[in-house]
Structure 1
Amino acid sequence: MTRASLKFGDGPMKPVIAFICLGALTTLSCYSHAAEEDSDLPDWAEERVEPFRARIGNWVDNTSRNIDSFFGGDQSATVNNESYLRLGQEIDWMEGDGTSGDISLRYRIDLPTTEERLRLVIESDPEESQGTLADQGSGRLYNDQRDRSTSTFGLDWLESRDKRENWSNRIGAGIRLRMPLDPYVRFTSERLWDLGDGPWQLESFNRVSWFNNEGYSARTTWDVGRPLSANRHLRFITNVQWREEEDTLEYSEVAQLNQRLNNRSALRYSAIAIGESASNPRMTNYYLQTRYRRDIHKGILFGDVIPELHFQREDSYDPRWAMTLRLEMYFQREIQRDYFHF
């Protein structure tokens, strides 16, 4: 996978990038209110994109169902299958670091009928390979700071419990497909509570993992939120992570307001603080982020504009601008339009 890098002078670029971010968000937001069709593509582009999407989507679906039928049973042809393939193109700029372009391919093969509670899963980009919380917390660092060779093949045993009523646990084991082969074991537990009689909900996600080549890791996420209206949702997210490879306790706090502009566009405003170390706690990065996401074409082609303003400890908390432009195409037989994750 190739990656191009280009440096710019910081002085003149700062106001230019800021202007581009503001202009792009303003223009796209205004346009999103006006456009209510299901595609922004011209007719000639749609005629080329749709057959290509259908062929690849059908291939992904058929492949996963054939594998599922081999390991599972006859229901593989009718059961809901969440397999997908996602192709992305990203341009990432940060003041002082220059600009980089990247192409990514991510996939997940879901085999739901292997058994009622035992599920065979093939996926790329597992959570454990996604780097530090600083890497994960920013939507900008979506592709290039993650390990490319992180495909996993394994079995998950799921408890048939509703996480609204009990802790829902999942145990998985398998191998990461790289040389040398990397066996792993992981335990995941989730819970969801309604807080009183009001609209607030608290969700907990916890995972402990062991990879032979990297050792142990643990992560816990606590997410409390509530809808403010039919189109707005407020969230406060706490993450704590430890990885034996880094041997550092990391934590982050996120305040997030999600706003659905219409059925094809959304905005996310975030204020994020990231710190590390348990014995000598310190904050390493504060930043403000706005993410505009647009369904460009019929729930399969999405565009993101993500401006950020960072205040990093290593730079004496001097402000640094950053921006990402991203295109993603999803390949599934059944189109799923909700990729905003509110």
Structure 2
Amino acid sequence: MRDHLGTWVDNTSRSLDGFFGTPESHDVDNESYLRIGHEVDWMEGDGVDNDFNLRYRVDLPTAEERLRLIIESDPEETQGTLAEQGSGRLANDQRDRRTSTLGLGWLEKSDKRKRWSNRVSAGVRLRLPLDPYVRFTSKRLWQLSDGPWQLESDNRLSWFNHNGYSARTRWDVGRPLSTSRHLRFITNVQWREEEDTLEYGETAELNHRINHRSALRYSAIAIGESASSPRMTDYYLQTRYRRDLHKGVLFADVIPELHFPRDTGYESRWAMSVRLEMYFQRRLTRNYFN
């Protein structure tokens, strides 16, 4: 079933790409996927939430030279606050499963290891009334002093007619410690017009690949807000265990957390997420945490 559905997802996107684009659509890399998941979230004092979700991306890379027609669910701008993104425990009302985006993206053919790689995209969010958007992203990767450390910058500026403007910058410095361990320090800054609050987050994480089917991530995270009167809103520790249950198709996550939120006087609160995800795409991925 997985092979048939994964092949159908790939063939459908390539057929659409060939119709609008060029015959090379059957040879180029295609990033289309279908992902089905179910998760159970529990936060001490808040109870349990259940969420079934369907996410997809239809990628048409040859539709135009340097233009990519993209159809996707859950745009980044709908992923909630930094606190919710950082923990991987988005509240159900922050996940807009009812809408998708349809747009064209213009991508510079440049290597982010040598120069800034920029993309400009525009389209509509498929809802009534239609919600037009414009997005600009820019990425860069530096090797620091010919050593093991790398610094990556990922920046996004966007406008949605319904939600207004938003901006995010992410700086990620890290290095491998061994063939199975990787250390990262991540800084996030985000502003959304609908919230009108500057958010910032600092994360230190250690990724450990246990074997070819299991991985662990240990994280210490601090979240704050406001530029005029800065304050920390949450500190928490997180462990994420991810297991490939079946041949790169079915994955399980167990994510325990210990929070120290400001609104409870920094008293500890436990949280737990359990998630199952099934991926359908022709080329299997082993990137456990992305």
- TM norm. shorter chain > 0.5: yes
Equivalent residue, structure 1, for 2:232: 283
Bigger drift between 143-152 and 196-205 goes to 143-152
Give me the TM-score of the superposition, normalised by structure 1.
0.83
In the alignment, which residue of structure 2 is the partner of 1:172? Answer: 121
Larger RCO of the pair (alpha carbons < 8 Å, separation 6+): 1
Amino acid at match of 1:173: A
Candidates 157, 175, 186, aligned match of 1:237: 186
Q: How many residues align?
A: 290
Distance 2:244 2:48 in 1: 25
2:46 maps to which of 77, 81, 97: 97
Gaps in structure 1 of 5+ consecutive residues:
1-51
Match of 2:10, SS state, is helix
The 5-angstrom pairing of residues 1-342 of structure 1 reads 52-141=1-90, 145-341=94-290
Structure 1's 144 and 328: CA in aligned 2 closer, same or farther, altered over 3 A? farther
More helix by share: 1
Q: Which amino acid aligns with 1:177?
A: L
**How far does residue 143 in structure 1 lie from its aligned partner after superposition?**
6.0
- Give the alignment's TM-score, normalised by structure 2: 0.97
Give the number of the structure whose alpha-carbon radius of gyration is greater: 1
- The answer to whether the 8 Å contact 1:122/1:152 transfers is yes
Return the structure number with greater strand share.
2
- Following TM superposition, by how much is the alpha carbon of 1:170 offset from its aligned partner in structure 2, in angstroms? 0.4
Please state how far the C-alpha of 1:144 moved relative to its aligned partner.
Answer: 5.8
C-alpha distance 283-230 of structure 1, shift in aligned 2 (>3 A)? same
- Displacement after TM superposition at 1:150 (Å): 3.5
> Which amino acid counterpart does residue 227 of structure 1 have in structure 2?
P
For the 8 Å contact 2:214–2:241, the answer to whether it is kept is: yes
Partner secondary structure for residue 64 of structure 2: coil
| Residue range with higher mean Cα deviation, 176-185 or 76-85 | 76-85
1:71-130 per-position Cα deviation (integer Å, ceiling 9, x unaligned): 101111222211000000111111001112111000011111112311101101111011
CA RMSD of aligned residues (A): 1.1
Secondary structure at the counterpart of residue 62 of structure 2: coil
* Conservation of the 8 A alpha-carbon contact between 2:215 and 2:288: no
Gaps in structure 2 of 5+ consecutive residues: none
Give the match's secondary structure for 1:113: strand
Q: 1:162 is matched by which residue type in structure 2?
A: D
SS of 2:167's partner is strand
- Identity over aligned pairs, percent: 75
Q: Which amino acid aligns with 2:108?
A: E
CA contact (8 A) 2:79 2:90 kept: no
Inter-partner Cα distance in structure 1 for 2:207 and 2:254? 15
